């Protein structure tokens, strides 16, 4: 039996404002994500959705592969490091021999569940060779990338604004609430897809009636003491954790300033697989299915 390889999985919540059927999320995915189209991922890195698999019923899950790489600009001015001068056209002609190759390559798998609008992806991938350092798909950078796709002018004109949030760890809110004296609490909430949650439903309806894109609340404690959050505000924090973010600032028992945010604690689920028994893609899909079904079976 081969040595098991590890990987990590993170999750995005993709939410249309108001209650929407799974078929609408399939349409949203189709409008925002195109196979083989080049997208800017981060900095000068380019991304391509190389493979997209929907199966017979796309509402049960959409899977695929995302590639990122450095897309060399062969038209721009290049430096000849030997001469210290701009490269000549005849030197650039040699690049045509590797025109189909791109450096700094990494890949990740994703699985999107339209019924609960969750986007699972490998935030740390498993490579076959231990000589190659694994590439990371930072949850927050992936959030920014998917957010740009979901909120392009073309998509927004058809579906309206789309909220994209990294699912944080369950402990992230507890870290905020456990600050000895919370002096400052910032809560930002984007319109949720309320599903069957009464609190989320009422909150989304309120934002819709106000024609509001999001709601931000700031609580500042009185001098000398810390904030004392009631159940209503804790419920709002739970909603914001998956549809926005929460940041708390205060002092610990020694009087030292501390700051905690749900943004700083993205959920990273660890998985392992035996390459003799299954592929890394199959292992990822099995894990995404298991975690997703368990999470929502438990409510």
- Given a contact cutoff of 8 angstroms between Cβ atoms, the answer to whether 190 and 15 are in contact is yes
Asked if the model's pLDDT at residue 79 lies above 90, the reply is no
> What is residue 19's three-state secondary structure?
coil
The pLDDT tens digits for 142-160 are 999 999 999 999 999 999 9
128 and 196, same domain (yes or no) = no
pLDDT, greater one: 2 or 184: 184
d(CA 284, CA 282): 5
Question: 279 and 245, same structural domain?
Answer: no
Token pair for 268: 């990273």
Own/partner contacts of 78-81, CB < 8 Å, gap of 24 or more, are: none
Beta strands in the chain (DSSP E): 5-16, 38-42, 45-53, 62-70, 79-80, 85-86, 106-113, 118-124, 162-166, 181-189, 215-220, 244-251, 257-261, 269-273
The residue with tokens 């897809």 is: 193
Same domain for 271 and 244: no
Point out which residues pair with 108 in neighbouring strands: 66
295: confidence class by pLDDT, cuts 50, 70, 90: confident
User: Does residue 243 share a domain with residue 200?
Assistant: yes
pLDDT reported for residue 128: 54
pLDDT at 104: 81
Residues 184 and 123 in one domain: no
Structural domain boundaries enclosing 54: 5-166+266-297
pTM of the predicted structure, to 2 decimals: 0.88
Do 148 and 161 reside in the same domain of the chain? Answer: yes
pLDDT of 125 reads 78
> How many Å separate Cα 265 from the centre of its chain?
12
DSSP code of residue 226: -
Q: How many domains does the chain have?
A: 2
Share of residues in the chain with pLDDT > 70 (%): 88
Is the pLDDT assigned to residue 260 strictly greater than 60? yes
Q: What is the pLDDT of residues 195-235, one digit of tens each?
A: 778 899 999 999 999 999 899 999 999 977 899 999 999 99
- Statement to judge: residues 147 and 256 lie in one domain: no
């Amino acid at each position: 039996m081969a040595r098991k390889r590890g990987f990590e999985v993170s999750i995005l919540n993709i939410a249309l404002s108001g209650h929407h059927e799974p078929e609408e999320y399939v349409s949203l995915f189709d409008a925002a994500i195109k196979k083989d189209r080049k997208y800017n991922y981060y900095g000068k890195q380019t991304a391509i959705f190389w493979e997209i698999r929907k199966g017979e019923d796309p509402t049960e899950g959409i899977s695929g592969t995302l590639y990122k790489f450095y897309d060399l600009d062969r038209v721009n001015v290049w430096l000849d490091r030997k001469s210290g001068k701009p490269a000549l056209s005849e030197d650039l002609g040699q690049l045509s021999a590797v025109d189909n190759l791109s450096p700094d390559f990494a890949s990740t798998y994703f699985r999107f569940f339209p019924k609960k609008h969750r986007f699972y992806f490998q935030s740390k991938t498993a490579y076959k060779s231990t000589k190659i350092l694994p590439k990371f798909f930072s949850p927050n950078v992936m959030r920014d990338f998917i957010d740009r796709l979901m909120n392009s002018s073309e998509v927004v004109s058809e579906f309206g604004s789309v909220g994209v949030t990294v699912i944080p760890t369950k402990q992230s809110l507890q870290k905020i609430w456990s600050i000895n004296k919370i002096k400052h609490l910032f809560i930002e909430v984007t319109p949720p897809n309320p599903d069957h949650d009464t609190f989320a439903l009422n909150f989304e309806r309120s934002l819709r009636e106000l024609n509001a894109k999001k709601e931000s609340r700031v609580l500042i404690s009185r001098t000398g003491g810390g904030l004392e959050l009631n159940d209503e505000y804790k419920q709002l924090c739970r909603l914001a954790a998956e549809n926005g973010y929460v940041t708390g600032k205060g002092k610990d028992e020694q009087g030292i300033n501390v700051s905690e945010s749900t943004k700083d604690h993205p959920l990273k689920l660890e998985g392992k697989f035996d390459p003799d028994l299954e592929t890394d893609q199959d292992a990822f899909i099995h894990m995404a299915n298991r975690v997703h079904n368990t999470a929502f079976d438990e409510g």
